[in-house]
Amino acid sequence: MGDSLYEMSVFSKVVATGSLSAAARDLGVSTAVVSRRLAALEARLGVRLVNRTTRRLALTDEGASYLEACTRILGEIEDADAAAAARRVEPQGVLKVALPASFGHKHIAPLIPPFAERYPKIQLALSLSDRTVNMIEEGYDLAIRIGELEDSSLAARKLAPNRRVVCASPDYLREHPAPRTPADLQQHNCLTTNDLHMNWEYKGPDGKRGSVRVTGHYACDNWEVLREWAMAGLGVALKSTWDVRRQLEDGSLVSLLPGYDFGTDVAIYAIYPHRRYLPAKTRVFIDYLAESFGPEPYWDQPQGTKKQARTRRPATV
């Protein structure tokens, strides 16, 4: 097992640096050692992972698939090592966290009092804003982001799924026929973010993915404003369930297009600068949020279950 893990780390380093010599320098070994380890790995697997030329290295399809598995496995090992080391250190110090404004206000701020009681030596500095912060330049230890992750040198951990629904108010639906398929949304006034024209991605009841180009008269980059507009009957909105759970329950908004999943590849993530040597203060806060939300966050649970979750975590909303 030890040789296998080392070969995986060598392979990952070769891909990350783009050459055998650069990987050797980073690993502190000779280029010949890296070459032998890579060859041994390919021989053990029985497939070619990297095509080598005099100028560049290129991943094969098998190599790309294997790299994804290596990244996950090596990352989990680093997480486990760091978690074990963090237990020897009492979490303390200033933790600067950037949060999406509405989500942070609704679902993270209420969690802070019990967190403060558990970790009294951590000083929290929260910034609630919907802009994407530059973590390194602005000195943030951690950021919570919702959406599809772009390629980045930052490390990430998924905290919870982000289920989304297409919804509208009863008043709007009295004047406009409810859409039966995503294509019908093109006949509706859709409330969008940033741009009056957007693509809404979805997965159909048959599991196939699709996209519909929607447009409307109103756009806003603030999620709360879009929710209020939808409740006022201005149009159809694509909203996260964490934001509209109460409105769906009391009937001020109606969920549309049952059977279609508009939350494909979208989740709630903790983003931090480096996986290695993650400070104890950052790790315990990430663990605390993941524990509080769980694989099925309380806002997506049936009403009775949701009440039980609140009983266990009285600070959540």
Count of other CB atoms within 10 angstroms of residue 182 = 20
> What residue ranges define each of the domains in the chain, with the CATH number in brackets?
2-86 (1.10.10.10), 93-161+266-312 (3.40.190.10), 164-256 (3.40.190.290)
Most confident of 2-6, 48-52, 85-89, 224-228: 224-228
Rounded Cα distance between 105 and 91, Å, is 24
Burial class (CB in 10 A: 0-12, 13-18, 19+), 240: buried
Read off the amino acid at residue 131.
R
Residue pLDDT, tens place only, 254-275: 999 999 998 766 889 999 887 6
Q: Minimum mean pLDDT among 91-95, 113-117, 272-276: which range?
A: 272-276
Count of other CB atoms within 10 angstroms of residue 207 = 7
pLDDT at 251: 95
Helix axes 61-86, 280-293, angle to 10 degrees: 110
| 281-285: average pLDDT | 92
pLDDT at 76: 81
Residue 316 has pLDDT above 60, yes or no: no
pLDDT at 315: 36
% of the chain beyond a pLDDT of 90 = 45
Question: β-strands 93-99, 142-147: how paired?
Answer: parallel
Residue pair 99/127 in contact (Cβ under 8 Å)? The answer is yes
| 222-233: average pLDDT | 93
Read off the amino acid at residue 264.
T
Higher pLDDT, 307 or 104: 104
Rounded Cα distance between 125 and 305, Å, is 32
Nearest alpha carbon to residue 202 among 234, 171, 255, 165 = 165
Structure tokens at 20: 């055998």
Residue 125 has pLDDT above 80, yes or no: yes
| 284-300: average pLDDT | 92
pLDDT at 311: 34
Alpha helices in 46-86 (DSSP H): 61-86
Rounded Cα distance between 208 and 202, Å, is 8
Q: Minimum mean pLDDT among 49-53, 68-72, 155-159, 234-238: which range?
A: 49-53
pLDDT at 194: 77
Residue 167 has pLDDT above 80, yes or no: yes
Count of other CB atoms within 10 angstroms of residue 95 = 20
Q: How confident is the model at residue 313 (pLDDT cuts 50, 70, 90)?
A: very low
Residue pair 269/78 in contact (Cβ under 8 Å)? The answer is no
Rounded Cα distance between 115 and 118, Å, is 5
Residue 317 has pLDDT above 80, yes or no: no
